[in-house]
Amino acid sequence: MTNVQLTQEQRELIERMGVFYEQHGIPPMEGRIMSLLIVCDEPELTFDQIRELLGISKSTTSSALNTLLITKRVIYRTKPGDRKRYFASNILQWQESFTENFQKFFEVIKIMKEALNQRTPKTPEFNRQMAEFIEFTEYISVEFPRIYLEWTKRNTQNNNK
Amino acid sequence: MTNVQLTQEQRELIERMGVFYEQHGIPPMEGRIMSLLIVCDEPELTFDQIRELLGISKSTTSSALNTLLITKRVIYRTKPGDRKRYFASNILQWQESFTENFQKFFEVIKIMKEALNQRTPKTPEFNRQMAEFIEFTEYISVEFPRIYLEWTKRNTQNNNK
DNA sequence: TTTTTAGTTCGGTAATTTCTGAACCAAAAA
DNA sequence: TTTTTGGTTCAGAAATTACCGAACTAAAAA
């Protein structure tokens, strides 16, 4: 028994956000579920509410939710004495997913260093540009946490005002 | 007549980098071409050299290169009195593509603001987290150019040493 | 003018992805 | 013990994507 409803406006926004996510490499249905969890009035939805609101099958809901959980774009919690899972957007924990996604910089650095190391020394200009790119990425990987820390500092000050 | 060759090591690195790109949402062949242009001894390759080195058809080469040009992951130049185009990785101009990619922050901010604006006021905690995420993204969009500037400053100093 | 070069475009096939419904399952409730 | 709930798993259909070869084209060279 679901009593969550979507307005026409919400439905349209979900589609547009879905396209946005799709353009960033997320499969259509996963994008729609992510958008739904951000647009919908309820901050948490059950498996069946998601299924109904998007009008999709159980299997589609199941596999999309599972990959969304693996990729940590969606989280869930349970409630005592309730077998259902309550799914929510990871935007509620954007701080954590920010610090996690941050690891990707190191992957880029690693593979680019490997590529640079095997390069011929006969192309100094090319190699210099590559080295510069790697250095900059390393620089960012240092500055990013600092920026983040400063922001949280600034923000707790504001909240205490 | 091509005389560029790939070592076995280079071939393997291209495949691994290709997978890396694929995991970040780039189609296989486009990923391979991008990797080839980074791994290969020659900093620039012609249409036909790419075709031969990867062992693919003209049509595949053509369409992959065109989308790579549209998405600005690959650049090309021409030479006087030569009809061929010489393709190169955009890593040679990573500064420009960095500043361009930077625009994506504003897209995120825009769509998230829209989503927040249509939300019910009945979920203050959720809305607060979203607002915080948006504020942080805005903060980054200010800090990022500053960081970049400081890095270039620091770097030109080093180069003059 | 004819030929060559450096690609583009088109039609089709093969592989992959995205869904569906139906059958299944394990834990809790009745 | 049987039934209900909250899903998972599987086989297959439908849509999309990733390739190919063959025919084509426009500009330059011969």
Task: Tell me if chain B has a CB within 8 Å of the CB of A118.
Answer: yes
Q: Is there a contact between B9 and A118 if contact means CB atoms under 8 Å apart?
A: yes
Rounded distance, CA B64 to CA B75, Å?
13
The answer on pLDDT for A50 being more than 50 is yes
Round the CA-based radius of gyration of chain B to a whole number and report it.
Answer: 21
The answer on pLDDT for B1 being more than 70 is no
Q: Which residues of B touch A20 (CB under 8 A)?
A: 107, 111
What does DSSP say about strands B82-89 and B74-79: parallel, antiparallel, or unpaired? antiparallel
Residue A2 — very low, low, confident or very high, per pLDDT cuts 50/70/90?
low
Whole-prediction pTM: 0.93
Task: Tell me if chain A has a CB within 8 Å of the CB of B24.
Answer: yes
Which amino acid is present at B141? Answer: S
The answer to whether the beta carbon of residue A63 comes closer than 7 angstroms to any atom of strand C is: yes
CATH number of B8-92, picked from 1.10.10.10, 1.10.760.10, 3.40.50.300, 2.60.40.420 = 1.10.10.10
Subset of residues 118-157 in chain B with CB less than 7 angstroms from any atom in strand C: none
Rounded distance, CA B16 to CA B23, Å?
11
Contacts of B129 (CB under 8 A, 6+ apart): A91, A92, A94
**Residue ranges of domains in chain B:** 8-92, 102-160
At B25-71, the pLDDT tens digits run: 999 999 999 999 999 999 999 999 999 999 999 999 999 999 999 99
Mean pLDDT within A74-85: 95
The pLDDT of residue B161 is 47
**φ, ψ at A103 (rounded to 5°):** -55, -25
